[in-house]
Amino acid sequence: MQLIRNRLRTATCALLAVAGTAAAEGDWKADGAILGYSEAGRTSVFEPIASLKRNLPNGQFLTGKIVLDVMTGASPNGAMPTDHAQTFTGASGRSRRSGQNESEHRRAPTVVQAGDMPILPFHDQRASLDLDYGRPLFRTLKADVSGHASIESDYVSRGTSLTFNWDTPNRLTTFTLAGGANFDLVEPIGGGKPIALNLNTDSTRHGSADKTVLDGMFGVSRVLSRRWLVGVNYGYGRDRGYLTEPYKVVSILDPNGSTTAYRYENRPDLRSRQSAFFTSAYQLRQDVIHISYRYYWDTWGVKSHTADVKYRYELPHSHYLEPNLRYYSQSAASFFTYGLMDGAPLPHYATSDYRYGQMASTTIGLKYGIPVSGGDFNIRAEYMRQTGKSHPSQAVGVQKDFNLFPAVNVMILQIGYSRNF
Amino acid sequence: MASPCEVLLDSVSHRDASEILDNAATEALRIEHKFSRYRSDSVIQKINTSGGNPVEVDDETAKLLDYAAECYSISDGLFDVTSGVLRKVWKFDGSDCVPEQSAIEQLLPLIGWSKVAWQNPFVTLPAGMEIDFGGIGKEYAVDTTASLIRERTNSSFVVNYGGDLFVSGPRFHGKFWVIGVDDPNATGENAIGAIRVPRGGIATSGDARRFILKDGIRYSHILNPKTGWPVADAPHSVTVIAETCVEAGILSTLAMLQGPNSESFLEDQQVQFWANR
């Protein structure tokens, strides 16, 4: 039967007098971007990304991506503001500056004024590599396997994932099933992980620690009409191992709420996470409106909502403008605390990491794209404001006088270029 | 062509687009007039009224006759440009009028490419027989229009003559053209599928509106030239993507002629397709 196609192709070539198959266009696609992220008064990240995709015969493809992150600035170490100055040695995490040796690094203390949220300086770099290979298995089933490796001064991560996409015969519905596993190794600066919930004056260190992250996802997407595409998915994940931040502390409070000491934080060594996600893309005459909503919940007590809307506004000459609005809110982890009372029995778990507290953020952004030969160039700017409970009811004594969650203002700027050749 | 025809050009100036569209329209009309069954000035009409006498044909017609001969051979006689006479007894108007077997049998001797004497540049058709390029004419027009446009511009384009298409390549910004597959039950309103096409020809065989329904059996309008009967259990329509529109057209027609085996036939050919049952 295969003979038919070859004979037919030859006959058709003779009829149309075409000079054989033209050189295939669009076999390569290169993407590059530079992202700048900056929290006012806190952390800044500079992130260049480059990726290259090659289309191979029979629907196969291979992608390679490199991401570099340079992170500097300061971030909260978990200690709360209090009614006197606080002094911390070492960093809230991350590496020494290059050129500094171990003892120099430890010698530089940070002094935080009374009433200020303690933030400690840090500096780190991360490099990661992702490789991805995909191919169709049958006419309507595609498989994708990927590998990931990343390295930071105190952290190594390796992972792999497998994704299947199956189209129904009319191609209007696609089912997706994906699974991934990541194995991470933490080697905290200073020789190892501290003993959980011990005073931070205790310099005992345990060595390295590891963590396994497993993820699974099942999704369905469907073309509802010429203009409308929707999708839903459900995700389940399990993290097991050392899930604590080795450099973060929890404030110990006297009966007046004033900080007298600090203990290392502790998080459970197991977490199950679930999420439900809905997305919709609807095309008006030329423009497209995207909305999505995600609900997340886990066994640490964190529940969150994310709602996002983007409007892609097509301009003449294939330029486009895409404003975007996102709202995020989360509840605090069950073991999140603003401080432990001195002398009270220690809980099993405690963290003051603001990222596990009750918080909300609103992001407003704008992206502008310009087509260039074979590809496009785009620039995106976003402003995000993160707020939390500045004066929670759990605040003790003098803590009530201070802002326990100063708002964080973030600016993001990204420039990207993508090209097919 | 009895269908709406359009040409889509990506990132081309208005003046160039005007010129290209004029050329495309001229070419489409030229082919329609030259190979029409109805026009007195068409080559087909000349051949079909030759009363058994040899007719000298030009280069282009010769190539089409060569192609018809090759497709007849490749398909073991299922693709036959002389089968058009069957329309005299088969009217696919949704009614239940099935012709008498005797009426069909009277026409069978007038069908069969093997009875045609084709020796470039002379074709001799026995009296009473007819040639009809309806099965490849539109697809051929798509592909020749595409060649013409390709000579005039490097930009990406789509030629769409009534649902038979050619996609030249990815668009200016690197993305593929997205082609919707029409839902015959709500034609022009709904898509039953949508695909990103990197490059190639797309053709569809079958039409849900042209059929006969009798005693609960649905007869599609694709007729088997050997038996004179429609193929039973064929899909309502088959859409195929191939390197050229003509090739896609032949494959979709041949697929329909396989009846219940349409899909497995196309899977064997390793082409992308939709079969709508």
Average pLDDT estimate for A366-379: 87
CA separation for the pair A363, A378 (Å, rounded): 19
Which residue stretches of A69-115 are H helix?
102-107
Helix (H, G, I), strand (E, B) or coil at B112: coil
Write the ipTM. 0.84
Q: Tens digit of pLDDT for each residue in B131-163? A: 998 878 889 999 999 988 888 887 889 999 888
Is the pLDDT at A26 greater than 70? The verdict is no
B243 contacts in chain A (CB < 8 Å): 9, 12, 21
* Helices and strands in chain A: count of H runs, count of E runs: 2, 21
What is the reported pLDDT for A3?
Answer: 67
Q: Which residue has the higher pLDDT, B105 or B176?
A: B105
Average pLDDT estimate for B227-241: 86
The pLDDT confidence band at residue B208, using thresholds 50, 70 and 90, is low
Average pLDDT estimate for A61-65: 94
Q: Tens digit of pLDDT for each residue in A260-317? A: 999 999 999 999 999 999 999 998 888 899 999 999 999 999 999 999 999 999 888 7
The pLDDT confidence band at residue A204, using thresholds 50, 70 and 90, is confident
What is the reported pLDDT for B15?
Answer: 80
Average pLDDT estimate for B16-28: 88
Tell me the domain boundaries of chain A: 2-420
Q: Which fold would CATH assign to domain B5-276?
A: T-fold (3.10.520)
B78, B254 contact by CB (below 8 A): yes
Which CATH architecture does the domain made up of A2-420 adopt? Beta Barrel (2.40)
Mean pLDDT check: name the lowest of A307-321, B103-117, B263-277.
B263-277
Q: Which residue do the tokens 């780190």 mark?
A: A124
| Chain B 23-82, residues with CB within 8 Å of chain A CB atoms | 63-64, 66-67, 70-71, 74-75
CA separation for the pair B264, B255 (Å, rounded): 9
Mean pLDDT check: name the lowest of A76-80, A83-87, A106-110, A264-268.
A106-110
A→B contacts (Cβ < 8 Å), by residue, are 1-2, 4-5, 7-9, 11-12, 14-18, 21, 24-26, 29, 139, 169-172, 223, 225-226, 318, 371, 373-376, 418-420
B44, B38 contact by CB (below 8 A): no
What is the reported pLDDT for A23?
Answer: 38
What is the reported pLDDT for A150?
Answer: 95
What is the reported pLDDT for A99?
Answer: 43
Work out how many CB contacts closer than 8 A connect A with B.
Answer: 102
Tell me the domain boundaries of chain B: 5-276
What is the reported pLDDT for A20?
Answer: 38
Q: Which residue has the higher pLDDT, B188 or B48?
A: B48
Helix (H, G, I), strand (E, B) or coil at A25: coil
What is the reported pLDDT for A226?
Answer: 77
Average pLDDT estimate for A58-78: 91
A18 contacts in chain B (CB < 8 Å): 147, 244
